[in-house]
Amino acid sequence: MSKMGSIGQRLYRGDISYNFIARKKFWYALSAILLLISIGGLLFRGLNFGIEFTGGADYSIPNATCSVEQARSTSESLTGAQTIVTETGAGTIRVQTETLTPDQSEELAAVLSNSCGTSADQIKFQVVGPTWGAEISRKALQGLGVFLILVTLFMTIYFEWRMAVAAMVALAHDMIITVGIYSLTGLEVTPATVIGFLTILGYSLYDTVVVFDKVKENTRGITGQSILTYDEAANLAVNQTVVRSINTSIVALLPIVAIIIVGAYVLGAGTLLDLAVALGIGMVVGTYSSIFLATPVLAQLKSATPEMKSLATRVNARRSQVVKKAAESGVLNVEGLGLDAPSLDSKDVLMVSETAVIERNQPRRQPRSKRKKGS
């Protein structure tokens, strides 16, 4: 049995546990820092939109013998404007310019063919208007709006509105940080990137629903007992699903990393690479939010309800009673263990109770004077 499998089973049974919920302030602070950096990048640096959004002409020169600097110099001398030139792999150079007339486009293709040692008919070029990019943006926003409405309705009906709110907080967190990373690194935003952004919303939601489904299972009928608080039951759910979330993310990231490596060093930049980068960043951020953000937000919202406050009061009262009885009976040095009722969790109470029972049921030896000889 693998070590990871063993840890996963111990987490699922509750033998070991990491208190994600109790450390929610730390996770909130970390997320807040990441969000501020991302928003700052968007405000001060903006996004590097591709030609599909800004409009312009795109040239693909196969088997080019010229350098990137030579192609840039040739293009800028003809157009008189800044030109973006990249090498996309396999000897292909990509040249992006501002919008050109048909005559200017053909003239630039001829000049690039002479400069880069290839024939003009081998150069592929297309002219894209900015209205096409605006249409893509409008459709993407419409799709995002419909997606969020449907997701909110589903989460509210299947779970409850508090889970829907927590899931929306995690989705917004994932999108802002992912877009912020694109802004800070200067990665080009293309239609494939937009598709990747929308795809990671589904992945992030899937991971969050898996955790919430376990929370729902663990907290079903929770007000009918006085052993666990809602926070503890929710924290148990996160521990029970954390290994699954990490393993799922690793398995999903492996082919994406392969695509990024092959795309960057073999095939060159392209639609597949743009999509893979967006998916890779989004999956990492989505895994983080489903574990460290979504459930703590849910637990905070749920624990503020009157029924959960009443449950917490009963749980703490029961634990105080257990500690008091153990101390009074003298079978357990509670003060020596450093235990007090407010700081006890369900495992501490179980330990105190079991120790008290063992000590109480321990058979007492008769005095030496009453023992029978030879017995």
> What are the extents of the domains in the chain?
3-48+132-304, 56-128, 307-359
Instruction: Kindly state the percentage of the chain with pLDDT values over 90.
Output: 18
Stretch 122-151: mean pLDDT: 78
Stretch 172-190: mean pLDDT: 88
Q: What pLDDT band is residue 374 in, cutting at 50, 70 and 90?
A: very low
Q: What pLDDT band is residue 249 in, cutting at 50, 70 and 90?
A: confident
Stretch 56-61: mean pLDDT: 80
70, two tokens: 């030579």
Distance separating alpha carbons of residues 97 and 272, to the nearest angstrom: 22
Predicted pLDDT of residue 125: 77
Quick: pLDDT tens for 321-341.
877 776 666 545 544 444 444
Distances (CA, A) of 227 to 186, 213, 305, 320, 327: 52, 21, 18, 12, 20
Look at 163 and 117; give whichever has higher pLDDT.
Answer: 163
Give me the long-range contacts of 156-165 (CB less than 8 A, separation at least 24).
159/212, 159/216, 162/298, 162/301, 162/302, 163/212, 163/215, 163/216, 163/298, 165/297, 165/301
**According to CATH, what is the number of the domain 56-128?**
3.30.70.3400
Residue 300 confidence (pLDDT) above 90: yes
Residue 362 confidence (pLDDT) above 60: no
Predicted pLDDT of residue 176: 92
Range with the poorest average pLDDT among 242-246, 309-313, 359-363: 359-363
Predicted pLDDT of residue 31: 94
**According to CATH, what is the number of the domain 3-48+132-304?**
1.20.1640.10
Distance separating alpha carbons of residues 88 and 36, to the nearest angstrom: 33
Q: With contact defined as beta carbons under 8 Å apart, do 208 and 202 qualify? A: no
Q: 3-class DSSP state for residue 227?
A: coil
82, two tokens: 């800044």
Stretch 250-273: mean pLDDT: 73
């111990």: which residue's tokens? 10
Average pLDDT over all residues of the chain: 77
Quick: pLDDT tens for 63-84.
777 777 887 887 877 777 777 7
111, two tokens: 């000049």
